[in-house]
């Protein structure tokens, strides 16, 4: 089960990477290399920070703390995405003159 979980986590990380690259490649065809460099650097810096914070949380609160931290970060991201998505839709409606 542990090996299966590791494989699934690796697949999820690779899927996230590919989907992120797909999104940034649509931004500016002339700046793909620069955008990809910033994206990959941010991806790895975020992973390093997450690993360090998880290590600190583990030493302070054990596996329960790591599990809570691991659940809280994506939930915060989801909440941010939901509010960003809604506010972007409102801005777009305001630009078009729709209420």
Q: What is the pLDDT of residue 89?
A: 65
Query: For the residues 53-79, what does the mean pLDDT come to?
Result: 95
Residue linked to tokens 């979980």: 5
Residue linked to tokens 């490649």: 25
Of the pLDDT bands very low, low, confident and very high (cuts 50, 70, 90), residue 45 is very high
Residue linked to tokens 């992973």: 47
Who's near 66: CB < 8 A, 6+ residues apart? Answer: 54, 57, 58
In angstroms, the CA 3 to CA 64 distance is 21
Is residue 90 over pLDDT 80?
no
In angstroms, the CA 67 to CA 97 distance is 45
Query: For the residues 26-36, what does the mean pLDDT come to?
Result: 89
């Amino acid at each position: 089960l542990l090996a299966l979980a590791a494989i699934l986590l690796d697949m999820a990380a690779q899927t996230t990477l590919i989907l992120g690259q797909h999104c940034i490649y649509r931004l500016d065809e002339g700046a793909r290399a620069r955008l990809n460099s910033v994206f990959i650097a941010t991806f790895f810096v975020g992973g390093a920070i997450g690993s360090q914070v998880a290590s600190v949380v583990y030493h302070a609160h054990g596996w329960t703390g790591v599990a809570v931290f691991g659940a809280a970060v994506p939930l915060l991201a989801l909440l941010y995405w939901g509010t960003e998505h809604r506010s972007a839709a409102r801005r777009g409606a305001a630009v078009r003159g729709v209420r």
